[in-house]
Chains A and B, each alone.
Chain A
């Protein structure tokens, strides 16, 4: 399998549930990203990992907890979410995440999350 793979494709959860989103990249990249995509709003960068070290955390609520155990895998752990957290969560990777942020991104197909 090639590219960036995200599971599950769809997820429905209650506000008291705990769930995790998984992302796996088979491109040999060193940087991985989580984005939130809400309807008619710009894509929001949530977290960036470079060589398994978190390098960006854009004021994301603590109910979202990322984990990057190695350069190929990225998780987003969810707990006590709110209905406004319903969105498409996209994972991406890039070769590196050096200065200038000029690398092109390779995206997965996303997890469509609904919080009831």
Chain B
């Protein structure tokens, strides 16, 4: 069974600094997709970034980028130039079936 682990229940970052959220997963598949979702206090989860496993290049979306290490089954999210609006719960997901328990990110002004 595929499992997703987020080892950091809470993280904190200073505004304008960079923070990295960790995610590891377990799978026997070779082709799959990984996702990071953000859940602000409004509760509505939105997609931050998506990575296709067969692609070597790490996905980037503006200030958000991933460090995808397929052999290590690691999929971390880097947020650069952190903003107050980045404060939220962040969930790592394997396809649409397996989610991590989330990391609560606090951004300090």
- The residues of A that contact B46 with a CB separation of less than 8 Å are 107
Q: Does A100 contact B (CB under 8 A)?
A: yes
- The residues of B that contact A87 with a CB separation of less than 8 Å are none
Residue total for A at the interface (Cβ-Cβ under 8 A): 25
Of residues 82 to 110 in A, which have CB atoms within 8 Å of B's CB atoms?
A: 88, 90, 92, 94, 97, 100-110
- The residues of B that contact A101 with a CB separation of less than 8 Å are 33, 95-97
User: B96 touching A88 by the CB < 8 A rule?
Assistant: no
**How far, in angstroms, from A83 to B93 measured CA to CA in the complex?**
27
Listed from nearest, the 8 A-B pairs whose CB atoms lie closest are A101-B95, A43-B99, A102-B33, A107-B45, A109-B44, A42-B99, A104-B47, A101-B96
Q: With A40-B101, A112-B43 given, can you name 5 additional A-B contacts, CB distance below 8 Å? A: A43-B99, A101-B96, A103-B96, A104-B50, A109-B43
